[in-house]
Amino acid sequence: MNIAILGSGFIGRFYAESLHAQRRRDRIIMVYSRKEENAKRFAADYGLSHYATMMEEAIEHPDVDVVLISLPNHLHEEAVHLCAKAKKAVICTKPLGRTAAEAMRMLKAVESAGIFAGYLEDLCYTPKFLKSLDSVKRGDVGKVLWTKSREAHSGPHSDWFWDKEKSGGGAIIDLGCHCVEISRNFIGKQIKPMEVMCWADTQVHPIEAEDHAIGLVKYANGAIGQFEVSWTFRGGMDLRDEVMGTEGTIWVNSFLRTGFEMFTTGKGNDGYVAEKAESNQGWLFPVGDEAHELGYPHMFTDMFSAMEEGREPLETFYDGYVVNAILDAAYASAESKRWETIQLTDWRGDDPEAYSQNWTSYDEMYYLIKEEILPNGDVTVILKHKETGEVTQKVTLAK
Ligand SMILES: NC(=O)c1ccc[n+]([C@@H]2O[C@H](COP(=O)([O-])OP(=O)(O)OC[C@H]3O[C@@H](n4cnc5c(N)ncnc54)[C@H](O)[C@@H]3O)[C@@H](O)[C@H]2O)c1
């Protein structure tokens, strides 16, 4: 694939490093950046044959097969409409829109143009996430009851993130989009997210948007997806996920503790350790291959393979729209301090009424509440009578 990248900033460079790493064959051939000096520098750094200072010129270039949107949030929609007009395949960074209404307009544009569209939710492609998701899908943790996804750091690196108009919000829109989509995957994308309860506040930074939030997303089958996001966290980038199911548990630490720890006095160390690391001396927690730990290579492989195979990628514009709808409800809840309904004008999953509670039977007469081996070796079984509701226990004494 020949790729045109729009934007030459932080994520643009991460994407270019991932795409041009090792011996990958899909190449960026064109970069769009407003300022010629930035476009030229990016093109020189990654050996690109073309650069442009007009978005249309980059998108419409005849050699370009696919457009990679790496622009600030307020420019995603304009870029997607230009791709639809030029009938070019498009892959767009997160969050898809600043609101669900914006995301819906983008979804409609790509669907009516009949072009390929992929949502670049990298944290749903990390090696640890993909393996965890396989386990969940195999049933290793049973029915997923509760997921917890956390992304926290000391705040973003560019001015526009801190401007609510351009970004669409603070930590919720910037980081919550990752956490919500991680939980949706674990709980099951076909299960409708129904309501959100969210606390958000501006605790540290002098901005209009929230710099810290915690939310609960309730799904139609009773599962809960918890998100914890912060631009006030000190000590690096905390990316952790948990899955709690009826048959098991998964805990994942994707970044701050990957098993690589080192100490340096700081002598001779001149800078970068890992994304959002706040120190380069003392005990440090570097990340072996950041692009891999953050999911970029698997994400691009899925996107380009999907294009070639004529299938949908794992993360689509529709997913981006659902995420935006959940985040809209989170903002409404933070304001109202109540559970807020998620407004999904276009729901493509299961009927939300389709779920029922199934208690585990012990035998014909009883449900099993739980079984436990006590410290003295006795085994206790706690039961509930199916008709009377009486709770009793049976104890088998240790031999
Ligand atoms: N993990 C991830 O997937 C991830 C990580 C970081 C950022 N992002 C997303 O990538 C996008 C860009 O973020 P970033 O961190 O690269 O930001 P950035 O500020 O580092 O880079 C943005 C780029 O857009 C350009 N730009 C800014 N305003 C513009 C305008 N009005 N017109 C044209 N170009 C303009 C800048 O010059 C720069 O090249 C955002 O949507 C962000 O949410 C995703």
100-113 vs 76-86: helix axis angle to the nearest 10? 10
The reply to whether ligand 1 has any atom less than 6 angstroms from the CB of 333 is no
Domains identified in the chain and CATH numbers: 2-121 (3.40.50.720), 124-292+312-352 (3.30.360.10), 366-396 (no CATH)
The radius of gyration of the chain from alpha carbons, rounded to an integer in Å, stands at: 24
Nearest to 96 by CA among 85, 109, 113, 115: 109
What does the pLDDT read at residue 358? 87
Residues 6+ apart with CB under 8 A from 170: 162, 164, 200, 202, 207, 209, 210, 211, 213, 231
Residues 6+ apart with CB under 8 A from 64: 2, 3, 4, 29, 30, 58, 88
Strand order across the beta sheet in which 238-245 lies: 248-253, 238-245, 144-152, 224-230, 212-219, 193-201, 340-341
Taking residues 352-369, report their average pLDDT. 94
Residues 6+ apart with CB under 8 A from 97: 73, 76, 77, 103, 104, 105, 106, 168, 320, 321, 324
The reply to whether ligand 1 has any atom less than 6 angstroms from the CB of 167 is no
Q: Is the pLDDT of residue 268 over 80?
A: no
Taking residues 264-275, report their average pLDDT. 85
Residue 267: pLDDT band (50, 70, 90) is confident
What does the pLDDT read at residue 143? 96
The reply to whether ligand 1 has any atom less than 6 angstroms from the CB of 48 is no
Judge if the upstream peptide bond of residue 193 is cis by omega within 30 degrees of 0. no
Distances (CA, A) of 78 to 4, 25, 92, 338: 15, 29, 12, 34
| Region of residue 366 (phi > 0: left; psi between -120 and 50: alpha; otherwise: beta) | beta
Report the SS3 class of residue 216.
strand
Report the SS3 class of residue 384.
strand
Report the SS3 class of residue 247.
coil
Q: Is the pLDDT of residue 80 over 90?
A: yes
Q: How far is the CA of 71 from the centre of ligand 1 (A)?
A: 4
Q: Is the pLDDT of residue 269 over 80?
A: no
Q: How far is the CA of 350 from the centre of ligand 1 (A)?
A: 35
Nearest to 234 by CA among 176, 177, 277, 178: 277
Q: How far is the CA of 83 from the centre of ligand 1 (A)?
A: 18
Distance CA 177, CA 121 (A): 8
Taking residues 117-125, report their average pLDDT. 98
Taking residues 30-36, report their average pLDDT. 98
Looking at the chain, the whole-number percentage of residues with pLDDT higher than 90 is 96
The reply to whether ligand 1 has any atom less than 6 angstroms from the CB of 352 is no
Mutate to test the pocket of ligand 1, among 93, 126, 276, 290 (most ligand atoms within 8 A of CB): 93
CB-count burial class (<10 Å; 0-12, 13-18, 19+) for 246: exposed
Taking residues 188-202, report their average pLDDT. 98
Residue type, 281: Q
Residue 271: pLDDT band (50, 70, 90) is confident
Q: Is the pLDDT of residue 228 over 90?
A: yes
Mutate to test the pocket of ligand 1, among 11, 28, 174, 179 (most ligand atoms within 8 A of CB): 11
The reply to whether ligand 1 has any atom less than 6 angstroms from the CB of 36 is no
Rounded to two decimals, the pTM is 0.97
Report the SS3 class of residue 320.
helix
